Amino acid sequence: MSDKKNKKLTPTQQQYQAFAKQREPQRPILINCVKAFLVGGLICALGQLISQFYMTFFDFTEKTASNPTAATLIFIAILLTGLGVYDHIGQWAGAGSAVPVTGFANSVASAALEHRSEGYVLGVGGNIFKLAGSVIVFGVVAAFIVTLVKLSILKLGGF
């Protein structure tokens, strides 16, 4: 707790905060990092296998295989979220399950499942866009800035 907040506490509350901090269990940071690395790596390796599958059996190029690969990973993540499996993976792996495509799909699907009792429009639709809206806005703004930088470099005779 910060010193400003700590100064507003009574002496008894400060003693309790110190007591609670001493009793707080230590987090196994190294083990958590290894779990996150393994699960994140497995998700990425699965994505690479799916991409290779599309390139081998459907005659896609590396560039054209990327979209169906992302769609397949999104489908798998949403399916596992709906079945309740992705939550267990996330509980065990922590940040490793938040690999961008599958983690975002899990977040959106979880919001939809959690609020489906409120109705499809206000419950599911409204709560999906609470999460997705900020991601979409930041993505559009970042793409706009990158495009401006690239166009200015091209006009200056760069790349």
pTM for the model stands at 0.69
Structural domain for 41, as ranges: 31-127
| Residue 152 falls inside a structural domain | no
pLDDT above 70 (res 6): no
**Residue 112 forms part of a structural domain:** yes
Residue 109 confidence (pLDDT) above 90: no
Segment 66-88 mean pLDDT:
94
**Is 5 domain-assigned?**
no
Could you tell me which residues come within 8 angstroms of residue 47 by beta carbon, excluding any fewer than 6 positions away?
69, 70, 73, 101
Residue 11 belongs to some domain of the structure: no
Of residues 15 and 131, more confidence is placed in 15
Whether 108 is covered by a domain: the verdict is yes
For residue 142, which amino acid is it? A
Q: Is residue 86 part of a domain?
A: yes
pLDDT at 7 over 70: no
Reduced to 3 states, what is the DSSP secondary structure of residue 1? coil
- How many structural domains are present in the chain? 1
